């Protein structure tokens, strides 16, 4: 059971009472994958859809796949997604997971969001121009055109009071999760060496001193490729890059455990900082 599941009845009650909701829950507590499908049978929807915004394409696709799998369905049935240049939504889809810019386009074509009963802003703390515009327009639609349209803002790190006040005294729900001990080790920084080489050295040190998979953050695609080259002769683990421009099949493969049980070294951009949970990572 995910920690957030214990507060879902309260969230449903707030939304049924036509209250906007701000949800703060720790990473990995299930807010992205548990809350939206649990709201599909709410009375206030009355056949309307839930539209959930994700800041990144990979997160939107993987989230839709995970929720659909838990429901025993395929993506494009009850749960679908739409990102730039890719759409997997069917006639029975009631939970649409989209990237932020698509909400603005949708509002321009349908200012009332006539087929939507709830808009969810996930990982709201990441903030972007597209997210802020979509949020402002959705708030305006609720106040001026659709008083029955509910808004739900979710984040792990969020000033709930400020957002709740901006929404107009929204209800705030907080989920508590078990916090696991974290050991921090600082390595000496070799200022003359490229960051890719320093990261490769850190990986080679971390692997024998730990168990499980290793997740490394690098500034961009170039640094990731150079670090992967530094680790080309690495034994005992598989090096797997993860960045936005990769083909989606390769991105999805990074999120799955290796069939042969080998350890993974994931070299990622900030795409994996908050929008994704990669199972098996311990370092």
pLDDT of residue 130: 85
Q: Where in the chain is the domain with CATH 3.40.50.300?
A: 3-174, 195-272
Please tell me the CATH superfamily of domain 3-174, with its number: P-loop containing nucleotide triphosphate hydrolases (3.40.50.300)
pLDDT of residue 217: 94
pLDDT at 224 over 90: yes
* Whether 258 contacts 264, CB under 8 Å: yes
pLDDT at 274 over 70: no
Q: How far is CA 260 from the centre of its chain?
A: 27
Into which CATH architecture does domain 195-272 fall? 3-Layer(aba) Sandwich (3.40)
pLDDT of residue 40: 96
pLDDT at 56 over 90: no
pLDDT tier at 149 (50, 70, 90 boundaries)? very high
Global pTM value = 0.81
Collect all residues with Cβ–Cβ distance below 8 Å to 3 and sequence separation of at least 6. 25, 26, 29, 30, 175, 176, 177, 178
Both tokens of 229, joined, read 């080259």
Instruction: Determine the Cα–Cα distance for residues 159 and 264; give it in Å rounded to an integer.
Output: 35
pLDDT of residue 275: 61
Of 211 and 126, the one with more pLDDT: 211
């Amino acid at each position: 059971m995910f920690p957030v599941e214990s507060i879902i009845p309260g969230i449903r009650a707030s939304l049924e009472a036509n209250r906007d909701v701000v949800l703060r829950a720790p990473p990995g507590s299930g807010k992205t994958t548990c809350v939206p499908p649990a709201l599909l049978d709410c009375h206030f929807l009355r056949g309307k859809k839930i539209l959930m915004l994700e800041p990144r394409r990979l997160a939107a696709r993987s989230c839709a796949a995970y929720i659909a799998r838990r429901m025993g369905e395929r993506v494009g049935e009850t749960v679908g997604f739409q990102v730039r240049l890719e759409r997997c939504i069917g006639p029975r889809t009631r939970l649409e997971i989209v990237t932020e810019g698509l909400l603005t386009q949708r509002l321009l074509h349908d200012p009332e969001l006539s087929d939507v009963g709830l808009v969810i802003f996930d990982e709201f703390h990441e903030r972007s121009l597209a997210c802020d515009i979509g949020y402002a327009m959705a708030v305006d639609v609720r106040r001026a055109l659709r008083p029955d349209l509910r808004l739900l803002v979710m984040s792990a790190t969020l000033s709930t009071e400020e957002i709740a006040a901006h929404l107009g005294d929204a209800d705030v729900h907080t989920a508590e999760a078990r916090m696991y001990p974290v050991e921090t080790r600082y390595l000496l920084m070799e200022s003359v060496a490229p960051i890719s080489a320093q990261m490769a050295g850190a990986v080679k040190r971390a692997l024998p001193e730990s168990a499980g998979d290793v997740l490394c953050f690098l500034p961009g695609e170039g640094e990731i490729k150079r670090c992967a080259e530094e680790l080309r002769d690495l034994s005992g683990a598989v090096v797997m890059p993860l960045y936005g421009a990769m083909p989606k099949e390769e991105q999805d493969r990074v999120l799955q455990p290796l069939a042969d049980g080998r350890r993974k070294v994931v070299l990622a951009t900030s795409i994996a900082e908050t929008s994704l949970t990669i199972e098996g990572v311990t370092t």
